[in-house]
Chain A
Amino acid sequence: DGGITQSPKYLFRKEGQNVTLSCEQNLNHDAMYWYRQDPGQGLRLIYYSQIVNDFQKGDIAEGYSVSREKKESFPLTVTSAQKNPTAFYLCASSIGGGTFGNEQFFGPGTRLTVL
């Protein structure tokens, strides 16, 4: 089956720890995205990548880092610098950027809770 997988589904982090969220896709998509979803806030873009070994900051990149070493994978690290990391994190992919980015396919999400 083609699609996007995210792991883990639930993640608990102690304050001061870095954690990495996994995102893998087998859709052969060039573009990948990370969003954060908070209650009443909608989706906010953290980082995006339109091609391997290249990525750009979104609207709320502070306290996060990403890498894009493989086309299939776009892991997100939530660092200790992120002051309020508790949220639902969604990974998405699209065939490409530009107008191709209008149709994004989302993974099932990771719910991160800081203890």
Chain B
Amino acid sequence: QKEVEQDPGPLSVPEGAIVSLNCTYSNSAFQYFMWYRQYSRKGPELLMYTYSSGNKEDGRFTAQVDKSSKYISLFIRDSQPSDSATYLCAMRWGGSQGNLIFGKGTKLSVKP
């Protein structure tokens, strides 16, 4: 079992839809959870950053962490064509050691 599992998609939705992107993980020691967005042929950029369990909202984006289920989600409300990108989840355990572990990414296409 891989440490981080992410459905690669592709996921296609109409403009204005609510999008749900998800990752599961196996290592219960993970404490930090990130979502990166990567446009085609570009480097990723940090979108959301969450510590431990709970929800975090930033505009149209909501990140959710359920540590009991080892499951994280990113919700995009009122999706726009400009949201079309690959979304990578990443996580890291607590403490000063260790590096980010990335999911494979989900490719999202928002159709106008």
Q: Is the pair B8, A97 in contact by a Cβ cutoff of 8 Å?
A: no
A21 within 8 A of B: no
How far in angstroms is the closest Cβ of chain B from A93? 11
A99 within 8 A of B: yes
Q: Given that A102-B34, A106-B45, A108-B43 are known contacts, is A42 also in contact with B96, CB under 8 Å in the complex?
A: no
A41 within 8 A of B: yes
With beta carbons under 8 angstroms apart, the residue of B34, B88, B90, B95 that contacts A98 is B95
The interface size bin for chain B is: 20 to 34
A108 to B40 Cα, complex, angstroms: 10
Task: Give chain A residues whose Cβ lies under 8 Å from the Cβ of B41.
Answer: 109, 111
Q: Is the pair B32, A43 in contact by a Cβ cutoff of 8 Å?
A: no
Dominant secondary structure of chain B at its interface with chain A: loop
A101 to B95 Cα, complex, angstroms: 11
B104 within 8 A of A: yes
Q: Is the pair B43, A106 in contact by a Cβ cutoff of 8 Å?
A: yes
Q: Is the pair B45, A45 in contact by a Cβ cutoff of 8 Å?
A: no
Q: Given that A42-B88, A42-B102, A42-B105 are known contacts, is A106 also in contact with B8, CB under 8 Å in the complex?
A: no
How far in angstroms is the closest Cβ of chain B from A104? 7
How far in angstroms is the closest Cβ of chain A from B20? 19
Q: Is the pair B32, A99 in contact by a Cβ cutoff of 8 Å?
A: yes
Q: Is the pair A58, B99 in contact by a Cβ cutoff of 8 Å?
A: yes
Against A, the Cβ 8 Å flags (1 = close, 0 = not) of B30-53 are 001010000001111110010000
Chain A: CB-nearest residue to B104: A42
Task: Give chain A residues whose Cβ lies under 8 Å from the Cβ of B99.
Answer: 33, 45, 48, 58, 101
Chain A: CB-nearest residue to B43: A106
Interchain residue pairs A-B with the least CB separation, the first 3: A106-B43, A98-B96, A42-B104
- Listed A/B pairs (9) with beta-carbon separation below 8 Å: A42-B102, A43-B100, A45-B100, A90-B44, A98-B95, A102-B49, A102-B92, A107-B43, A109-B42
